[in-house]
Amino acid sequence: MFKYFELDEFTCSETGKNEMQEGFIHLLDSLRESCDFPFKITSGYRDRTHSAESNKTTVGQHTLGCAADIYIDNGVRRYEIVQQAMLLGFKGIGIAKTFVHVDTRASNHKVIWTY
């Protein structure tokens, strides 16, 4: 179904549920292809009861099945993921020390932030 990922890589770590959008994972496959190096998903789908989501006032992108956090261990690969994600049309990009968040939010605006 997907070239580089298995659906179970995106399962909620606290509830075992998985409502990822297939189109999002296909786009993530394209990101992996364009980066030309493997990467690990540290967080995919999160149920609304997940500890990182339950206190939010608005629904997070992870709960909508259109977001993933990608583990990163160096600046060269972080740059490549961000650059390729922007070229591929991801609309939300968050940059942290150990991961890059990417999402396909429904908003017309593209955003980038740091943690």
Two structure tokens written together for 108: 């017309």
Asked whether residue 83 is assigned to any structural domain, the reply reads yes
The residue range of the domain holding 106 is: 7-34+52-114
pLDDT for the residue 54: 87
Residue 3 C-beta-side C-alpha neighbours within 13 Å: 14
Query: Residue 62 sits in a domain of what CATH number?
Result: 3.30.1380.10
Please tell me the total count of domains within the chain: 1
Asked whether residue 23 is assigned to any structural domain, the reply reads yes
pTM of the model: 0.95
Asked whether residue 44 is assigned to any structural domain, the reply reads no
Asked whether residue 43 is assigned to any structural domain, the reply reads no
Give per-10-residue mean pLDDT for the chain (115 aa).
Answer: 96 97 98 97 96 89 98 97 98 98 96 97
Asked whether residue 25 is assigned to any structural domain, the reply reads yes
Asked whether residue 39 is assigned to any structural domain, the reply reads no
Asked whether residue 2 is assigned to any structural domain, the reply reads no
